[in-house]
Amino acid sequence: MLRVGLTGGLASGKSFVGEALASLGCHLLKADDLGHRLLLPGTAVFDRVVEAFGPSILDAEGRIARRVLASIVFDEPDKLSLLNSIVHPAVIEEEERWMRQIQASDPHGIAIVEAAILIETGSYRRFDRIVLAVCSDEQQIARAMKRDGLTREEAQARLSRQMPLAQKRKFADFVIDTSGEKEQTLEQVRRLHEELRRLAS
């Protein structure tokens, strides 16, 4: 089984690339979805996050209000590090469990983990190949504004806190340029899939 890490930056198109690869037969796990599930009430991660940040992060239904939590850690590197130290090990554990299941059920399959901060956390080392989705800074800002309802300033602030895509290229085995039409991106994905299939066989 081939272990593939798929990453990018804010609104750089990694989810589009991941879904396209899944439609071609790859197994896909989104670390973001995993993180959301681990923050639900009843999990050990939920308990530890509430203990670390206090009940003010809970909404009326007793769930973690992710926007409130994000606003607390956004400008506080120490608090962000604390949150990551609670969430990331649990996410990695679940990713590894999932990849073991894929290995058992599809030994020649392609297991793709889509994660935003794969390179920053050093997690990229756990994968056989790294795929990076890229586009221009201006496209990232415009897409984030449209997708997440952010102001330009908010989108720029988020982007400024991320490792630049140009820097991430050094860690990537494959780069998918999502700046053109969707069909152009899909053609790159199809060629990538052929190469991944060859590596997995």
The CATH architecture assigned to 1-26+109-201 reads 3-Layer(aba) Sandwich (3.40)
**Single-letter amino acid code for the residue at 114:** E
The β-bridge partners of 138 are none
CA distance 198 to 96: 23
pLDDT band at 74 (very low <50, low <70, confident <90, very high): confident
**Residue 69 and residue 83 in contact, taking contact as beta carbons nearer than 8 Å:** yes
- For residue 71, pLDDT over 90 is answered with no
- For residue 67, pLDDT over 90 is answered with no
Sign of CA dihedral 194, 196, 199, 201: negative
Enter the pTM of the model. Answer: 0.91
Fold topology of 31-107: Rossmann fold (3.40.50)
Task: Convert the pLDDT of each residue in 150-195 to its tens digit.
Answer: 899 989 988 888 899 999 999 999 999 999 999 999 999 999 999 9
Count of alpha carbons within 13 angstroms of residue 127, beta-carbon side: 27
Three-state DSSP state, 163 = coil
**Residue 5 and residue 124 in contact, taking contact as beta carbons nearer than 8 Å:** yes
Q: Would 1-26+109-201 and 31-107 be classified into the same CATH topology? A: yes
Task: Convert the pLDDT of each residue in 103-134 to its tens digit.
Answer: 999 999 999 999 988 998 899 999 999 999 99
Domain ranges for the chain = 1-26+109-201, 31-107
- For residue 38, pLDDT over 90 is answered with yes
- For residue 75, pLDDT over 80 is answered with no
